[in-house]
Amino acid sequence: MENAITLSNTRVEAVNPGRFVMDTTFVLFFLAMDIGASVGSFGLDVLLSAVTLIMFVVLPYFLPFSGKKPDFAGWAIGRVFIAILAILAGLAVQSAAGTVLPEGVRYVPMTLLIGSAILCAVIRIYAMLKVRLAV
């Protein structure tokens, strides 16, 4: 018997419901943490950051996804909870910087935000460009 490769007409989809927009969750967390760390100053930058935070809470639900999406209300409540938790963590970092922790800790949320945003962009671009078999 000779080795042969056979192709079938059935379509196989890999569904991983646990990874639904997980990469944007890290960006949401560090963005909210940075907003919490800059609560003392109210200006245009804080307003733009708040609008961006609201967009990162809602808009990732509408990103393309091959699996089944969760219920929007429960998903959004979870993201709001993550944002509130991160704002509180940012407030804690702001109050501890320079007293309990070194002054350089004040810049950690923005540094992590930039790193996670770059990683999120790379993951999204890879997901759009990866080669898929035509069925």
Q: What confidence tens digit (pLDDT) does each residue in 33-45 have?
A: 988 888 777 778 7
Banded pLDDT at 124 (limits 50, 70, 90): confident
**3-state DSSP call for residue 98?**
coil
Query: Residue 86 and residue 94: Cα distance in Å, rounded?
Result: 12
CA distances from 36 to 9, 26, 55, 77 (A): 52, 15, 17, 19
Query: Residue 33 and residue 106: Cα distance in Å, rounded?
Result: 11
Q: What is the pLDDT of residue 13?
A: 46
pTM for the model stands at 0.73
pLDDT above 80 (res 99): yes
Banded pLDDT at 20 (limits 50, 70, 90): low
CA distances from 124 to 4, 74, 128 (A): 36, 24, 6
- Which residues, listed in sequence order, are joined to residue 97 by a DSSP beta bridge? 101
Report, as an integer, the average pLDDT of 114-122.
90
Query: Residue 49 and residue 26: Cα distance in Å, rounded?
Result: 16
Banded pLDDT at 32 (limits 50, 70, 90): very high
Q: What confidence tens digit (pLDDT) does each residue in 101-116 have?
A: 898 888 888 899 899 9
Q: What confidence tens digit (pLDDT) does each residue in 51-98 have?
A: 989 998 998 888 777 778 888 898 899 999 999 999 999 999 888 888
Asked if 31 contacts 49 with a C-beta cutoff of 8 angstroms, the reply is yes
Would you say how long the chain is, in residues? 135
Query: Residue 44 and residue 75: Cα distance in Å, rounded?
Result: 29
Place of tokens 């078999």: 133
pLDDT above 50 (res 16): no
